[in-house]
Chains A and B, each alone.
Chain A
Amino acid sequence: MSNALSILRISNLKKSYGKNTILHGATLSLHQGEIIVLIGPSGGGKSTLLQCINCLAMPEEGEIFLHDNRVDLQSAGELNELRQKVGMIFQDFNLFDHLTAVDNITVALRKVKKMSKKDALCRARRELDQVGLSDKASLYPAQLSGGQKQRVAIARALAMDPEVLLLDEPTSALDPELVGEVISVIKQLAGNGMTMIMATHQMSLISTLADRILFMENGSIVEQGTPQELLSSDMVSKTRGFCERLNEISPEDL
């Protein structure tokens, strides 16, 4: 793959907790508008990989390039910059519990991006509108449903104008009837050309959005390819076996 086009590139990221090596040198590059889906068994290291990409979990080895500029992982300033450009959506939302929906969005705009109060508010309202929550702006996280929380979290990340969005199982903490509203927001993002890396087991996201699938197991990327390659019926792949099992659980999603 040509590096020239890559918007984000990681090379040989390694991470261990104590004696356990969780990530055995992950390498991948991502170009503008591409959507990569991470799948694999639980404990395979998907969350760890995503958190290493924006250094929420600091990798012990490896390099991260943003637009082919190497990010100095030792510099707090460069890390904060990286994190502004690489948005993240968490499985359990991580909305700030003491701030209303709209303030969850404005706080980073004002404190990190140093926007004026007025501009931040204006931007936040626009993002809330995008995810269909303008009427919930003044509610606190404790007053929102899971699906609404996740949509606020997405709006919060988007307001920072990220170039890449990392999504860690954005729908798996949600009740089944709330999954749909979050999926449609994500699809809308994809339609707008957002570059994403997403860990998910939601077949409807995998089959319709993925440009490339990465199958992770025991801390390594063991297979990767387009959905056509990995899921075609004449191919024997771990990915295909895994997805078939997913389908057995929720066949209606396909």
Chain B
Amino acid sequence: MELSPFYQELLPSLNRGLIMTIALIVPSALGGVFIGIVAGTLRAYGNRITRSIGNFYAALFRGTPLVVQLFVLYFGLPNIGLYLSPYMAAVIGFILCSGAYQSEYIRGALLSIKRGQYHGAQALGFSFFQTIFWIIIPQAVRKAIHGCGNEIIYLIKYSSLAYIVTVMELTGEGKTIATEYFRFTEVFMIIGLYYLALVSCAVFILKRIENKLYIPGFGYNR
């Protein structure tokens, strides 16, 4: 079956866009989780100063739209002589924003581990690092995984905002062709299905991981 010229042009550019989208998501997700762990730990266990810095960071990035953050990075920073490439602006924005949300889940997980768990470990002679490594981290991971995974799923969808700072990813590639052929419904339906596929994949993987880590008594049992 021969595809019409429209589709012959659309699908390759969407695939190109998909690769860019993935190139945006992967470093952003990893960076976001990393920042989230650092900020979440500081917010849960830090002293007053680090705690307030962490809280301020999280409130700031959770309280402003991602698109504003991207605009500040991409259009705003040149005002003070800092020029970021569209890709860099997008990834940095995604990492900072996603890190703020991730820190919320990490903090919640750490705070929900009861004092008794530390006491139990200490009473058996665990050292500080042994307690962290064998008792706290395994529990925190299980408590945070659902929220952190969801945050990555949000990130997949919000990666479409990179288009606004001119990164040619899925949405950008699609918009160009939609405008050229004036076929908006079809194109955006197909782009949406691309994202839906990405999201469904991520949901599937997340479920698998959650099930694998599932333990009676730890949160999400579905």
Contacts and interface: CB of A to CB of B under 8 A. Distances in A.
B126 A141 contact: no
A93 B128 CA distance: 20
Contacts of B217: 97, 140-143
B125 A98 contact: no
A160 B125 contact: yes
A247 B122 CA distance: 35
A108 B120 CA distance: 10
Interface in B110-141: 116-117, 119-128, 130, 134-135, 138-139
Contacts, number: 79
Contacts of B123: 54, 56, 83, 87-88, 90, 94, 157
A84 B121 CA distance: 10
Contacts of B134: 107, 111
Nearest to A109: B124
B215 interface: yes
A97 B122 CA distance: 15
A98 B139 contact: yes
B216 interface: yes
Main secondary structure of the interface of B (DSSP, over half): helix
The interface size bin for chain B is 20 to 34
A108 B124 contact: yes
Given A111-B130, A142-B217, A96 B135 contact: yes
A204 to B, nearest CB: 26
Contact of B125 (A83, A140, A143): A83
A90 B128 contact: no
Nearest to A92: B116
A141 B139 CA distance: 13
B218 interface: yes
A84 B116 contact: no
B157 interface: no
Interface residues of A, number: 31
A98 B123 CA distance: 18
A143 B119 CA distance: 21
B142 interface: yes
A97 B117 contact: yes
Interface string B44-63: 00000000000000000000
A140 B216 contact: yes
Contacts of B126: 80, 108, 111-112
Contacts of A98: 135, 138-139, 142, 215, 218
Interface centre among A94, A112, A156 (most CB of B within 10 A): A94
Nearest to B122: A56
Contacts of B130: 111-112
Contacts of A83: 122-125
B119 A90 contact: yes
A76 B215 contact: no
A108 B125 contact: yes
A143 to B, nearest CB: 5
Nearest to B130: A111
Interface string A144-179: 000000000000110010000000000000000000
A90 B117 CA distance: 11
A160 B191 CA distance: 60
A198 B78 CA distance: 69
A160 B124 CA distance: 8
Nearest to B141: A98
B119 A56 contact: yes
Contact of A157 (B124, B138, B216, B218): B124
Interface centre among B117, B142, B215, B218 (most CB of A within 10 A): B215
A112 B131 CA distance: 10
A143 B127 contact: no
Given A76-B128, A112-B125, 20 more contacts: A56-B122, A56-B123, A80-B125, A80-B126, A83-B122, A87-B123, A92-B116, A94-B123, A96-B117, A96-B120, A96-B139, A97-B217, A98-B135, A98-B138, A107-B135, A108-B124, A139-B216, A140-B216, A141-B217, A142-B216
10 contacts: A82-B125, A96-B120, A97-B217, A98-B139, A108-B121, A108-B124, A112-B124, A141-B217, A143-B216, A157-B124
